[in-house]
Amino acid sequence: MLDLILEEARERMEKSIQAFQHELSTVRTGRANPTMLDRVMVDYWGEKTPLNQTAGISVVEGRQLVIKPYDKSILKDIEHAIYEANLGLTPQNDGELIRINVPALTEERRKEYVKLAKKFAEDAKIALRNIRRSINDDVEKAGLTEDEEKQGKEEVQKITDEFVKKIDQLTKAKENDLMTV
């Protein structure tokens, strides 16, 4: 019984790490990357639709994103959505596609993005603590002996510590990436 509970803890925490990695990938570094636009939602036929479902996004020369909509009639909507997403990027519409030059980050902007990455890290750690609390409740309700329950909670704490360490490592790597000119 305890093994099943611990396995569930690992699975749920792994999903939290994946969600955190996805969040981190949306934090901009100095290079162009299509995931920078993951949070952009385009108003497509009255529905908010992710940009990557309405257009092809590619990187040109490392510093430029090219967005080629599947339907040219939504070029203006895509341009508007990029402005609304508040990413600090300026789209250039040439009637066929949209180009976005990704400027090098200033020192100030880099520090802002490091703060954002750390905020995402803190949110992920809160999610892990919530999972830990939920799993500890499951351990208590499992009808184990006192010693087994204590051991189970210690195992849950070890798993939690392991995943917190992963979050710290990912955050540190992102911070190094951001601060590298």
Residue 80 sits in a domain of what CATH number?
Answer: 3.30.1360.40
pLDDT of 181 reads 64
Sorted by sequence, the CB contacts under 8 Å of residue 70 that are 6+ apart come out as: 54, 55, 56
pLDDT of 115 reads 93
pLDDT of 7 reads 93
Sorted by sequence, the CB contacts under 8 Å of residue 150 that are 6+ apart come out as: none
Taking 80 as the threshold, does the pLDDT of residue 83 lie above it?
A: yes
> 18 with 47, same domain?
no
> 115 with 163, same domain?
yes
pLDDT of 38 reads 83
**Mean pLDDT to the nearest integer, 96-119:** 87
Confidence of residue 171 (pLDDT cuts 50, 70, 90): very high
> 143 with 165, same domain?
yes
Q: Which residue range is the domain that position 167 belongs to?
A: 2-26+106-179
CA distance 152 to 144: 9
**Mean pLDDT to the nearest integer, 45-69:** 88
Confidence of residue 62 (pLDDT cuts 50, 70, 90): confident
